[in-house]
Amino acid sequence: MGKLTTHVLDTARGIPAHGMQVDLFRLEGISRSLIKIGETNFDGRLDHPLLEGLGMEVGLYELEFHVGKYFETLGEILPNPNFLSVVPVRFGISDSSLNYHVPLLVSPYSYSTYRGS
């Protein structure tokens, strides 16, 4: 069985983003169901996969990365409101037997993502 994982890198500092809240939602039509709330560890990863085993289902999902709070906690001087607050990343799982890794590279003013391995 496959699994879904993520990690966050703070590209402004060149370090893993420790202590960032990450929320996982399943999308069905116009509704969103919260599946899991996690927080990144010292390596910028969650301690456990977001999905695995029987919970790993084909479908559409969304990760919400609480970027604004993370940078505020670090004491970053940001505009009010923050340029980036919560970064949503929508993606599909088409084969539940595969591993899906959705990393986020982030600074207070930009982000990027890709399907990792």
Domain with residue 57: its CATH number is 2.60.40.180
Residue at 69 is within a domain: yes
Question: Is residue 93 domain-resident?
Answer: yes
Locus of tokens 């085993």: 53
Is 114 contained in some domain? no
Neighbours of 57 (CB within 10 A): 10
Global pTM reads 0.95
**Residues with Cβ within 8 Å of residue 56, at least 6 apart in sequence:** 1, 2, 3, 4, 93, 96
Residue 113 maps to a domain:
no
pLDDT digits (tens, 9 = 90+) for 69-116: 999 999 888 899 999 999 999 999 999 999 999 999 999 999 999 999
Give the Cα separation of 107 and 101 in Å (integer): 20
Q: Is residue 117 part of a domain?
A: no
pLDDT tens per residue across span 6-28: 999 999 999 999 999 999 999 99
User: What domain range includes position 14?
Assistant: 3-108
Q: Is residue 115 part of a domain?
A: no
